[in-house]
Amino acid sequence: MSRMFRGGFILWVVLRYGLDELLLTSFSRPWLHTVARVLSVGRDLRAPPGQRLREALERLGPIFVKFGQMLSTRRDLLRPDIADELARLQDQVPPFDSDLSIRCIEKALGKPIDQLFVAFDRQPVASASIAQVHFALLRNRDGSVREAAVKVLRPGMLPAIEKDLALMRMMAGWVESLSADGKRLKPREVVGEFDKYLHDELDLLREASSAAQLRRNMSGLDLVLIPEMFWDHCTAEVLVMERMNGVPISQVERLRDAGVDLKQLARDGVTIFFTQVFRDGFFHADMHPGNIQVSLAPDSFGRYISLDFGIVGTLTEFDKEYLAQNFTAFFRRNYKRVAELHIESGWVPASTRVDELESAIRAVCEPYFDRPLKEISLGLVLMRLFQTSRRFQVEIQPQLVLLQKTLLNIEGLGRQLDPDLDLWSTAKPFLERWMIEQVGPQKLFHQLRDQAPVYAKLVPELPRLLQQYLLRGSEASSKQATRVEELLLEQRRTNRLLQALLYAFFGFALGLVLLQIYLRVRLF
């Protein structure tokens, strides 16, 4: 019943803000435009389309706001006015009341606000779909004062998300049962992955630990700054971290005027992404412009600043190796190897012909190599890839949904900073170097180093373990010989019994023959 009410509310919002009119007029068919005009009679749709879409997503709640955030990075797919409006969803969602925010902080940390902070800015500096952020001054244990950012969860988030997720599960079930591609696309598993990451995002303590891990991983790269977490003031509902000062990456003109090399910034973004994915298997999976800034401080000029670590992705060693081989094969235009990898991994049926899949992949990808991003129609590429995947029954991998989403974010950022960025040539040397490290002596050295404590404990015990093994081996051999002898004796007894039974049978048969002869002699 709650899903029905939610579905009805979504339909009401669509009609209230004229999203049906926006959708119908996006098609080129004149009769659809006529239908849109007829349906618009009696409704006030004077507001710009982008504003209506943004307000509708805000009205529908956090899941739809996140969808709008992702769309805002794809200016190649949207009109500029709509993209500008959706960009406001990244950090300009209407905030909730500051008094409520303070009560949440005091309840979570167990102290009045004036005892927790030297100063606290009641006006939030940013407000997003899940939480909002206030600036504050925090006194350290040594008495010094540091600038801090305080992130507070929006009250009542869990019930709202549960309602939308229940509706999405129901719709996924419809897609799986009614669509010809339902089982291949695994919509229920995709919704399950989305469910997991949304609930993870509601735990700010988990977010703090993810930020700490990324900070350690990126410490030697010197391309990105990640804030320090103040653990004494972190709970599941409140997160207090180092305040970062930078320019939002969406303010391209301001960065250019400050002297930032935008082309290098775009290349650094690609390097950061591939390092997190293929070296660490642990990556920031919510890299929309609202979460990315650029430092203008003299000691860190031109470096990225990452914020909001509620969604992170992880990859297994198998996933990393498989993806790296695919990327490398793509960059080398070795489409046969790409087809073989799809079959080896089980993504397509084992009966698939390699030459047919190779030809289909070549037809999709070859026209787009050596082109800058501004000349590539990603919509056309995705459509043709979908047609190819349907033909060869390629299975969607739910564990890679976040990686696919982050790739879209990275491409959107790259297009915004440097439309001429060649994503393939930028990433190719990195991936080739990574593949060499995976199979070369450096990988062996790292594995031996990581296992050194185990080997150090094991080596002194080797003589004793070897002696035990030999003793067990000799005992096992002795027991085996005894068992064989017992089996031979049992076989001999069985043979003697069989011989006795056989002799008895022949004796009985011979007796019957003699008795028959005797009777015949007496009778005749």
The number of angstroms, rounded, from the C-alpha of 244 to the middle of its chain's C-alpha atoms is 26
Per-residue pLDDT of the chain (524 residues), as tens digits, is 666 777 788 878 877 787 767 766 665 567 666 766 666 666 767 788 888 888 888 888 777 777 777 667 555 556 778 877 887 776 566 788 899 999 999 999 999 999 999 999 999 998 877 889 999 999 888 888 999 999 999 887 777 778 777 877 877 777 677 655 556 556 777 677 667 777 887 889 999 999 999 999 999 888 999 999 999 999 999 999 999 999 999 899 999 999 999 999 998 988 898 889 888 889 998 887 778 999 999 999 999 999 989 888 888 887 777 777 777 777 778 888 888 887 877 767 778 888 888 888 888 778 776 666 566 655 456 556 555 666 776 665 655 666 766 777 777 788 788 887 777 677 777 777 777 776 556 666 666 666 667 666 666 766 776 767 676 765 555 666 666 566 666 666 665 665 666 666 556 556 655 655 655 554 44
Provide the CB-side half-sphere exposure for 267 (13 A, CA): 11
By annotation, the residues acting in catalysis are 286
The CA-atom distances, in angstroms, between 414 and each of 218, 264, 265, 323 are: 20, 10, 9, 21
In this prediction, residue 175 carries a pLDDT of 66
Provide the CB-side half-sphere exposure for 162 (13 A, CA): 5
Residue 282 three-state SS: strand
**CA–CA distance, 311 with 504 (Å, rounded to integer):** 85
Structure tokens at 14: 């669509």
**CA–CA distance, 36 with 29 (Å, rounded to integer):** 11
According to DSSP, the β-strands at 238-242 and 224-225 are unpaired
Structure tokens at 440: 């070369």
- The arrangement of secondary structure in 98-255, i.e. its CATH architecture, is 2-Layer Sandwich (3.30)
- CA-wise closest residue to 339 among 293, 394, 292: 394
The CA-atom distances, in angstroms, between 195 and each of 198, 312, 314 are: 5, 14, 16
In the chain, the amino acid numbered 47 is A
Neighbours of 515 (CB within 10 A): 10
Contact 229, 207 (CB under 8 A): no
**CA–CA distance, 41 with 53 (Å, rounded to integer):** 19
**CA–CA distance, 434 with 369 (Å, rounded to integer):** 22
Domain ranges of the chain: 2-87, 98-255, 256-450, 461-523
Structure tokens at 190: 């995709």
User: Which phi and psi angles does 127 have, rounded to 5°?
Assistant: -140, 125
In this prediction, residue 524 carries a pLDDT of 45
The CA-atom distances, in angstroms, between 111 and each of 99, 114, 116, 121, 501 are: 15, 8, 6, 17, 96
**CA–CA distance, 120 with 151 (Å, rounded to integer):** 12
